[in-house]
């Protein structure tokens, strides 16, 4: 602190009153010009430097305050309440933000870019959570880190838990900001969003009440990395039990993943961690009383299984790359390789409209993943020789494992396996009128390719082979084969639209309100049970339902209409 002598202070005040000195004049001067001016009128360089420093601090503070206020008013997405909170906070600033305090302050302010009515109290919470994350990371980085394949260390768990707490808090604020009433959805401008929400709700409902990821999306992991598959498959049942008990198992899973030594590389390689799985694009079914818990348990088992597999396989391939002499493992294509192996194929240039595609087809990313697996990523860009080699090894393992099961099944139940890839039964085990797909949907791609290459198709019911170029009345063409393939991949919402346009359902029955509602929201296990029950020539219902629940797609040819009481509405 310093003060001017009385006669110098009186002289300074006189100059201010006379207009010789004005704030505007001082502001227009350079720092050096102000020091020289103050030196002349205040009688010395030392006093002038102190006065000038005090003036500049106030000048800079005012500029900084005004700059932040202008930013708050001009930034799109910040609500009026948020703007008022920012301005009130800024006007209370008494010190210029130096490098040590600026980040903390702006961390509070940046919370408002969430587009919500975040208050300064909430911004403070965000800042405090962020500080905790930073502190826990410093402690973790200074401690011994786990090796690939080892469990989370105590320091890593503290950091992971802190980071997930931060993410959850910010995520909840975003969710609250996006909540809309029903009346908002029926506005013309929101009809597209409402339709998308409905399509997502239908798909999530159909995908629930099972633990199907184990042998549907996970079948490729079973054949390529059985140890990883076995460990994570067992954990899905624990996840189901914990979720039914009210625990949030995804926080535990995500905490483990974000604290792994390889996590930053996972992000760089675009590993599908922290994404919404295409089978569960909506969480709304989880809000249904009683049944909602079953939905949440299914979703947790599915998502947890996929996340764990991706993280474990990424670590595994990272270790393989290092042993192969690669010092830098990012950019090798490991992320894309693992994503495909865990049914998360990239849609490439269509990624910006992936949500729309997901509303039309049931599992577009899984379909693309199966294509990449069956072609050993031949058509994938940004795949290094290392990744392509691993993809080729995986393909051999998958074909060998699948073939072994089919050969065994055919030996136990003669003629239960179709060997002709042009038949829809290829890759399936047939028992009566029931077909069990043990390929996770990959056989369908092989059948489509075989039909188009030979331009012949074999009926799965009569066993007759027809020429797609025959030109006979009602005979199939290559175009029909392609359309049928993709039609079978329609989402529940798209299937209902198709039924309405054609005036009949997929089995050729006249559409009814109950039947379409059944197709839209009834979980697949329930549909499978009804198919089995309504056909006396189906496979053993108990065995078939166990396999369906675990992900072996079970399809029974109908003898009569399916859907129980609903179909007659």
* Closest residue by Cα to residue 231 from 294, 330, 305: 305
Whole-structure pTM value: 0.78
Grade residue 565 by pLDDT with cuts at 50, 70 and 90.
very low
How high is the pLDDT of residue 332? Answer: 93
How high is the pLDDT of residue 178? Answer: 59
Read off the pLDDT of residues 191-213 as tens digits, 9 standing for 90 and up. Answer: 666 677 788 788 888 888 899 99
Grade residue 516 by pLDDT with cuts at 50, 70 and 90.
confident
With 90 as the cut, is the pLDDT of residue 507 above it? no
How high is the pLDDT of residue 115? Answer: 47
With 60 as the cut, is the pLDDT of residue 316 above it? yes
With 70 as the cut, is the pLDDT of residue 322 above it? yes
DSSP string, 481-495: HHHHHHHTTB-HHHH
With 90 as the cut, is the pLDDT of residue 270 above it? yes
Mean pLDDT to the nearest integer, 432-439: 94
How high is the pLDDT of residue 198? Answer: 81
With 80 as the cut, is the pLDDT of residue 75 above it? no
With 60 as the cut, is the pLDDT of residue 564 above it? no
Handedness of CA 170, 292, 556, 213 (dihedral sign): positive
The mean-pLDDT minimum among 184-188, 263-267, 548-552 falls in: 184-188
Percent of the chain with pLDDT over 90: 47
Grade residue 12 by pLDDT with cuts at 50, 70 and 90.
low
With 70 as the cut, is the pLDDT of residue 147 above it? yes
With 60 as the cut, is the pLDDT of residue 99 above it? no
Mean pLDDT estimate for the chain: 82
The mean-pLDDT minimum among 148-162, 413-427, 431-445, 499-513 falls in: 499-513
Grade residue 368 by pLDDT with cuts at 50, 70 and 90.
very high
Grade residue 114 by pLDDT with cuts at 50, 70 and 90.
very low
Residue 26: left (phi > 0), alpha (psi -120 to 50), or beta? alpha
Read off the pLDDT of residues 453-492 as tens digits, 9 standing for 90 and up. Answer: 999 999 888 888 989 877 776 678 889 899 999 988 988 8
> 3-class secondary structure for 413-469?
CCCCEECCCCECCECEEEECCEEEECCCCHHHHHHHHHHHHHCEEECCCCCCEEECC
Residue 481 phi/psi, 5-degree rounding, is -60, -45
- Residues facing residue 434 across a β-bridge: 431, 556
How high is the pLDDT of residue 311? Answer: 97
Q: Which residue has the higher pLDDT, 424 or 123?
A: 424
Which residues, 6 or more positions from 114, have their beta carbon under 8 angstroms from its beta carbon?
A: 170, 173, 174, 177
Read off the pLDDT of residues 20-71 as tens digits, 9 standing for 90 and up. Answer: 766 666 666 776 777 777 777 766 776 777 766 666 555 555 555 565 556 5
How high is the pLDDT of residue 518? Answer: 83
What is the rounded CA–CA span in Å between residue 28 and residue 55? 13
Read off the pLDDT of residues 118-142 as tens digits, 9 standing for 90 and up. Answer: 565 666 677 677 788 888 999 999 9
Read off the pLDDT of residues 216-249 as tens digits, 9 standing for 90 and up. Answer: 999 999 999 999 999 999 999 999 999 999 999 9
User: Contact 166/133 with Cβ under 8 angstroms?
Assistant: yes
């Amino acid at each position: 602190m310093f003060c001017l002598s009385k006669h110098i202070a009186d002289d300074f005040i006189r100059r201010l009153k006379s207009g010789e000195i004005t704030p505007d004049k001082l502001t227009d001067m350079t720092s050096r010009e102000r020091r020289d001016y103050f030196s002349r009128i205040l009688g010395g360089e030392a006093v002038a430097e102190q006065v000038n420093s005090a003036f500049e601090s106030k000048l800079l503070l005012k500029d900084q305050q005004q700059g932040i206020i202008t930013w708050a008013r001009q930034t799109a997405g910040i609500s009026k309440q948020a703007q008022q909170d920012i301005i009130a906070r800024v006007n209370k600033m008494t010190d210029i933000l130096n490098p040590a305090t600026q980040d903390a302050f702006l961390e509070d302010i940046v919370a408002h870019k969430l587009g919500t009515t975040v208050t300064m109290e909430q911004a403070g919470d965000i800042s405090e959570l962020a500080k905790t994350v930073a502190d826990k990371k410093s402690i973790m980085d200074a401690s011994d880190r786990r090796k690939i394949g080892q469990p989370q260390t105590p320091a890593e768990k503290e950091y992971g838990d802190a980071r997930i707490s931060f993410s959850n808090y910010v995520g909840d604020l975003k969710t609250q900001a996006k909540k809309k009433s029903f009346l908002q959805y029926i506005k013309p401008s929101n009809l597209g969003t409402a339709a998308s929400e409905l399509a997502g709700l239908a798909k999530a409902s159909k995908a629930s009440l099972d633990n199907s990821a184990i042998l549907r999306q996970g079948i490729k992991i079973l054949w390529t990395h059985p140890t990883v598959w076995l460990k994570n498959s067992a954990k899905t049942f624990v996840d189901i039990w914990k979720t039914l008990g009210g625990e949030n198992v995804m926080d535990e899973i995500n905490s483990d993943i974000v604290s792994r030594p390889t996590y930053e590389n996972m992000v760089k390689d675009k590993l599908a961690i922290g994404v919404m799985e295409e089978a569960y694009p909506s969480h709304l079914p989880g809000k249904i009383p009683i049944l909602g818990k079953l939905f949440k348990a299914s979703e947790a088992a599915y998502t947890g299984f996929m996340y764990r597999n991706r993280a474990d396989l990424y670590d595994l391939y990272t270790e393989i790359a290092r042993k192969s002499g690669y010092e830098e493992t990012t950019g090798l294509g490991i992320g894309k390789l693992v994503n495909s192996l865990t049914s998360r194929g990239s849609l490439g240039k269509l990624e910006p409209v992936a949500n729309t595609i997901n509303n039309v087809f049931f599992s577009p990313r899984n379909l693309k993943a199966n294509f990449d697996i069956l072609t050993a990523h031949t058509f994938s860009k940004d795949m290094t020789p290392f990744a392509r080699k691993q993809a080729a090894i995986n393909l051999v393992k998958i074909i060998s494992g699948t073939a072994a099961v089919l050969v065994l099944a055919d030996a136990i139940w003669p003629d239960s396996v179709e060997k002709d890839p042009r038949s829809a039964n290829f890759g399936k085990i047939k028992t009566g009128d029931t077909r069990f797909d043990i390929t996770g949907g990959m056989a369908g791609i092989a059948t489509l390719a075989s039909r188009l290459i030979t331009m012949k198709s074999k009926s799965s019911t009569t066993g007759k082979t027809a020429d797609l170029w025959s030109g006979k009345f009602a005979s199939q063409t290559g175009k029909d084969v392609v359309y049928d393939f993709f039609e079978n991949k329609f989402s529940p919402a798209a299937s209902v639209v198709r039924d309405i346009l054609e005036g009949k359902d997929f089995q050729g029955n006249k559409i009814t309100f109950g039947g379409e509602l059944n197709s839209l929201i009834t979980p697949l296990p329930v549909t499978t049970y009804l198919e089995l029950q309504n056909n006396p020539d189906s496979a053993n219902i108990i065995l078939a339902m166990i396999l369906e629940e675990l992900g072996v797609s079970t399809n029974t040819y109908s003898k009569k209409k399916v859907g129980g009481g609903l179909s007659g509405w």
